[in-house]
Amino acid sequence: MAKGLLIPWDGATPIAEREFAKLEDYQAAVGGYTEPVYVVSQGCTIDGNEEGCFDGFR
């Protein structure tokens, strides 16, 4: 099980620590299909909503 930080895009919702066990956990956190961005220099992955730009998440 992976641990991560949920950082909401709206800035109003507080940052929260979460545990992710399966793909559906990531999809629920981002509100749709997940798109991973690998940050090799930091040894981490950032997962975001794949369709975020279309939904107005800028």
The token pair at 3 is 């641990």
What is the chain's percent helix, strand, coil content, to nearest 5? 25, 40, 35
Residue 58, pLDDT > 60, answer: no
The token pair at 55 is 């939904």
How many Å apart are CA 47 and CA 45, to the nearest integer? 6
Average model confidence (pLDDT) across the chain: 87
Domain count, the chain: 1
Q: Identify the pLDDT of residue 31.
A: 86
pLDDT in tens, 42-56: 999 988 888 876 666
The domain of 51 spans 2-7+15-55
Q: Give the DSSP letter of residue 31.
A: T
Average pLDDT over residues 13-30: 93
Region of 47 (left: φ > 0; alpha: ψ -120 to 50; beta: rest) is beta
Q: Identify the pLDDT of residue 18.
A: 94
The token pair at 11 is 């800035």
Residue 6, pLDDT > 80, answer: yes
